[in-house]
Structure 1
Amino acid sequence: MEFNGWIIFAYKIPSEPSSIRVRVWRNLKSIGVHYIQQSVCICPNTKELLKRLKKLELLIIENGGEITLLEIEKLSTKSEETILAEFNQERKLEYQEFIEESKKFFNEIENETKKANFSFREIEENEVELRRLKNWLIKIKKRDFFNCQLQKQAITRIEECERTFDEFTEKVYRSEGIAEEN
């Protein structure tokens, strides 16, 4: 990913209503910022992130808060190494959780296969879960600015989920007499 330095985003929000603080925090976490201390976060300087932070700036100001947005070309080498490691650690935890959750998907299909529960209802249920996993991975990858080491494993895992789902779907079709055996 190409980025031009860093953005430091510091903010103050009135304590009430707390819903605004929560909304700001959730938005910042979904963007993928890294908190360097309370109400002070950092992220790579990209057009997309800057645009999203500017929108958040308006929300904060409209609700009586204050923000400081700093665009910085370079951090010290040691600070940048630390920040990069912390970004990647955060993504690593997300990818690990994703991989763990995908195991439940495989287990569900394996259990339904063992029970020979080949029904359209099972296709629909598993399709919903597969879509949820795909969307989750897309969100993690958007926040993975520095290509965490687990990204490839997570991508491989979702591809395995898709293949497993396709195989299960084919078994349902065969059991329903819709597809011919090869």
Structure 2
Amino acid sequence: MSEKRKWLILSYRVPAEPSTLRVRVWRTLKSIGAFYLQQSVCVLPLTSDIQGKATQLQNLISDNHGEVILLEVEQFSGITEEQMVASFNQQREVEYKEFIESCNVFLEEIKKETSIGNFSYHEVEENEVELVRLKRWHRKILNRDFFQTNYTTESQNKLDECVASLEHFTQQVYEEEGNKEGELM
């Protein structure tokens, strides 16, 4: 066991209606990377950011007639903590694999458009929108990647490859469009 971690356990119960509260709590917890131990009981590594978001959730649940308990845990047994870290990493790895696959689709699209010579400003705009989506998605995964999975570096490299590919494609479009715009009719 190398470093001592602190953990936050959040247990909650919300009224059945309106269901929007239950969905909002669940979505918020998933978005910050919570690992569910069982229904309505989840664990997170304790950081100042997580503590702040958990406090906001606690207030939201309480304000809507729910029950919530926040527990700070200083120590799990050694194997339990290792299992906990592995569970968090497993969740992130699933996300990273999906992200990397989307990057591969992006790269294939650029390759296809290049091979057929479809060098248009419209294609640049389309791909810029997709690249922004990929960057945003990657940032969200990184924010939940508390323990640096095996895919952390690979996903960054794949995103960098997408950026470079779009830059190269955009340069080709500018060269093509510039030549067409400079021609006299």
Common fold by TM > 0.5: yes
**TM-score range for the pair, normalised by the shorter chain length:** over 0.9
Q: Please give the per-residue CA displacement for 1:85-137, whole angstroms capped at 9, x wherever unaligned.
A: 10000000000000011111011111111121111111100000001001100
Aligned residues: 177
Amino acid at match of 1:73: E
For 2:157 and 2:144, the matched residues in 1 are separated by 18
For 1:128 and 1:177, the matched residues in 2 are separated by 22
- Structure 2 counterpart of 1:123: 124
Structure 2, unaligned stretches of length 5 or more?
A: 180-185
- Structure 2 counterpart of 1:88: 89
Change (3 A) 1:3 1:53: farther
For 2:5 and 2:158, the matched residues in 1 are separated by 32
% identity of equivalent residues: 48
Amino acid at match of 2:59: L
Contact 1:3–1:44 (CA<8 Å) still a contact in 2?
Answer: no
Q: Which runs of 4+ in 1 moved over 4 A?
A: none
TM-score (normalizing by structure 1):
0.95
For 2:5 and 2:150, the matched residues in 1 are separated by 22
- Structure 2 counterpart of 1:18: 19
Q: What is the correspondence of 1:28-67 to structure 2 with a 5 Å cutoff?
A: 28-67=29-68
Asked whether 1:152 is paired with 2:156, we answer no
Amino acid at match of 1:136: W
Give me the CA root mean square deviation: 1.2
Q: Please give the per-residue CA displacement for 1:151-182, whole angstroms capped at 9, x wherever unaligned.
A: 0000000000000000000000010127xxxx
For 2:144 and 2:12, the matched residues in 1 are separated by 21
